Chains A and B, each alone.
Chain A
Amino acid sequence: MAPFLLRLLLLLPLCFAAWYFAAPLLLQPAEWLTTGLLALTLPEAFAAVSIEARSSMLFDTRLVVHTAEGLAGSPVLSLDPLIYAYNLPVLAALILAAPQSRRRLQRLPLAYALLLPAWVWGICFGFAKAVSFDLGPEVSAQIAAPGWWLEGVALGYQFGYLVLPVFALVFAWYVLCRDDVLALSGAVLAPPKPLTDDGRQVRRMRALQRQRRRAKHRSRRTGRR
Chain B
Amino acid sequence: MAGERLSGSFLLVFFGVQLVLFTLTLLEPVRRALIVPFTESLALVSSWLMTRLDPAVLAEGVLIQNRHTGFAVEIAAGCNGVEPMIILLAAILAFPASLRQKLQGIVIGFVAIQALNLLRIVTLYYLGQWNQTVFEWAHLYVWPALILIDALVVWLLWVRYLQRPGTSNAVPA
Contacts and interface: CB of A to CB of B under 8 A. Distances in A.
B77 interface: yes
B131 interface: no
Contact of B77 (A1, A90, A158): A158
Contact of A185 (B78, B144, B159): B159
A86 B144 contact: yes
B159 A166 contact: no
B48 interface: no
Interface in A58-86: 80, 82-83, 86
B107 interface: no
A87 B18 CA distance: 17
Contact of B83 (A82, A90, A163, A187): A163
A161 B95 contact: no
Interface string A4-20: 01001000100010000
Interface stretch (A101-109, A128-136, A189-197): A189-197
Contact of B171 (A5, A158, A159, A188): A188
A154 B133 CA distance: 28
Given A171-B15, A187-B159, A90 B145 contact: yes
A1 B156 contact: yes
Given A86-B141, A155-B26, A192-B5, A184 B87 contact: no
Interface residues of B, number: 36
Chain B's interface: helix, strand, loop or mixed, by majority? helix
Interface of B: 2-8, 10-11, 15, 18, 22, 25-26, 77-78, 83-84, 87, 95, 140-142, 144-145, 148-149, 153, 155-157, 159-160, 162-163, 171
Given A1-B157, A165-B144, A187-B2, 4 more contacts: A1-B160, A86-B144, A187-B95, A188-B171
Chain A's interface: helix, strand, loop or mixed, by majority? helix
